[in-house]
Amino acid sequence: MNEILNESLIEKLTENEKRVYSYVTENIKSIENLKIKEIAKNTFTSSATVVRTAKKLGFKGYKELIYKIVNKKTILECNVIGQRFNIKNEEQLNEMIELIDNGKIMLYAEGLASAIVLYIYEKLLLAGKNVELFNSPVCRLMLNNHDVEVDYDAIIIVSRLGKGDISLKIAEYLKGLGSKVVLFTSNKKSKLYDSADLIFEYKEHSDGSYENYYPTSFYGYTILFFEELFKLYFEKKYSFMKKKSELVQSLEK
């Protein structure tokens, strides 16, 4: 939780305020649905104390504090995302969720990774997303014929070692047209890694010397990553829809 809140700010809280903070951080799963009066009652404090706690911690108010803690905890609880992949910050995941929600996406992979991309493709189609799956022959045609019109917000490439020449050519070509290159890999010493805009590096610490026939958990955990990502996506989507519905109902009264 220290990634959200400054430790020095927590130390400056009074005993009552620390009790509020402890209660909020220890009841992540239920806290989002509790009203401020309920927090005050459960901590034997007051609504004013709850608000004051939030402001002392650098937030505009109680709602912003809860939002930040709930969303950060959700990400930290995703073991596959937080423990298996190097994630720079929460914004990196939010950017990926935004691409899934509103972007036109192209998916590409070669070899063993093709099965992973096919799974992701089917998953996005079921969710009604704007996604296309390209195989090697189609991609070669696109690269060799620059008159072919392409307009993608992002291309997602799954490549454990990042060695595919075609993957690199596709990434550089679409990047030149304004597409964002998203890469899932375990090798940061590849040209494909250097050309990517949004990178999710699997913590395998591969230097690119391992062949794909050796045992690896990269492919399985990449699928699990997307499952956790879809979970975050739907949680945010339905949370927003719920709040919007409540606002409309309040305005109609």
Indicate whether 124 and 187 sit together in one domain: yes
**Angle of CA points 7, 42, 232, to nearest 5°:** 60
Average pLDDT over residues 38-44: 93
Where among 77, 106, 126 does a domain terminate? 77
Where among 77, 97, 130 does a domain terminate? 77
**Does 1 score more than 50 pLDDT?**
no
Using a 10 angstrom Cβ sphere, with 0-12 exposed, 13-18 middle and 19 or more buried, the burial of residue 231 is middle
CATH classification at residue 107: 3.40.50.10490
pLDDT at residue 2, rounded to an integer: 38
Token pair, residue 3, equals 């990634």
- At 68-113, the pLDDT tens digits run 776 665 555 555 676 688 877 777 888 898 888 888 999 999 888 9
pLDDT at residue 249, rounded to an integer: 61
Q: Is 196 within a domain?
A: yes
Indicate whether 130 and 32 sit together in one domain: no
Token pair, residue 18, equals 């620390």
Domain count, the chain: 2
Q: Is 247 within a domain?
A: no
Indicate whether 149 and 188 sit together in one domain: yes
In this predicted model, which residue has the larger pLDDT, 8 or 107?
107
> Domain limits at 214?
86-234
CATH classification at residue 14: 1.10.10.10
pLDDT at residue 194, rounded to an integer: 92
Average pLDDT over residues 144-161: 80
Indicate whether 213 and 103 sit together in one domain: yes
**Does 248 score more than 70 pLDDT?**
no
pLDDT at residue 145, rounded to an integer: 64
Average pLDDT over residues 208-229: 80
pLDDT at residue 110, rounded to an integer: 85
Cα distance between residue 69 and residue 63, in whole Å: 10
Enter the pTM of the model.
0.64
Where among 43, 59, 77 does a domain terminate? 77
